[in-house]
Amino acid sequence: MTHHAPIIAPSILSADFARLGEEVRAIDEAGADWIHVDVMDGHFVPNLTIGPLVVRALRPTTRKFMDCHLMIESPERYVEAFADAGADGITVHAEACAHLHRNLQQIASRRHHGGGSVSVGVSLNPHAPVDSIFSVLDLCDLVLLMTVNPGFGGQAFIPQVRPKIRALRQEIVARGLATRIQVDGGVSESNVHEVAADGADNYVAGSAVFKSKSHPGDYAGAIAAIRASATAAYRA
Ligand code: DX5
Ligand code: ZN
């Protein structure tokens, strides 16, 4: 199994929104690789969160990769706004795009604040067959496999997604691609080794960082524990 070094992407959905800038600085200093930003529109998912203004406001607080997960209908309407706000990567849901191929090309054509291309991500809900995105895999830097139904932090990991991770890893290896597999939802130090063994190499963790039971208030400890568990699976 070929793996990239693990990327740990704490989701600020579980942060203290009254102190969001401080929280982003804290996870940056605690060793987060990416900052995962959950964008919800109250249509595609039954919750409302944050928009490009907040990404713009947070941009000066960190130099880390700002990973914007758009859980919104017709995300092509907002790709430019998020890119302009400073997103390093934009992930759209396949289920939310009538013209997915075009939408992914639209993301790739955007330059981010550092001058490079915005990184292209596609996401699938837990029920969606993974081969439904094989036709656009070449366009993607990242595939986000939801391991909960999107909308809220703190939900239980759905183990039925695991065979999708394995099938996707197999396809990526067979094609010689460098696509990353991100898992999002219910991921913690107690199950990350399983998804790492399946072939995921990018781990979103909201409650497991911000509301960790084993490392309460210790973001560095929580991130390190997730990283250690993932890395151990790579060596196994
Ligand atoms: C769910 C979001 C996730 C969420 C994960 O809709 O996409 O990023 O914040 O939270 P946990 O890690 O608590 O499941
Ligand atoms: Zn997310």
| Predicted confidence band of residue 120 (pLDDT cuts 50, 70, 90) | very high
Q: 150 alpha carbon to ligand 1 midpoint, in Å? A: 7
| Predicted confidence band of residue 78 (pLDDT cuts 50, 70, 90) | very high
* Ligand 1 atom, smallest distance to 207 CA: 13
Q: 152 alpha carbon to ligand 2 midpoint, in Å? A: 9
> What mean pLDDT, rounded, does the chain reach?
96
Task: Decide: 148 in ligand 1 pocket, CB within 6 A.
Answer: yes
pLDDT digits (tens, 9 = 90+) for 21-54: 999 999 999 999 999 999 999 999 999 999 999 9
At 3 the pLDDT is 67
Q: Which long-range contacts (CB under 8 A, 24 or more apart) does 165-172 make?
A: 165/195, 165/198, 165/199, 165/200, 166/198, 166/199, 167/130, 167/131, 168/130, 168/143, 168/199, 169/1, 169/198, 169/199, 169/200, 170/199, 171/131, 171/134, 171/137, 172/137, 172/199
Task: Decide: 185 in ligand 1 pocket, CB within 6 A.
Answer: yes
Residue of 8, 12, 38, 188 best suited for mutating to test ligand 1, as the one with most atoms within 8 Å of CB: 38
Q: 160 alpha carbon to ligand 1 midpoint, in Å? A: 17
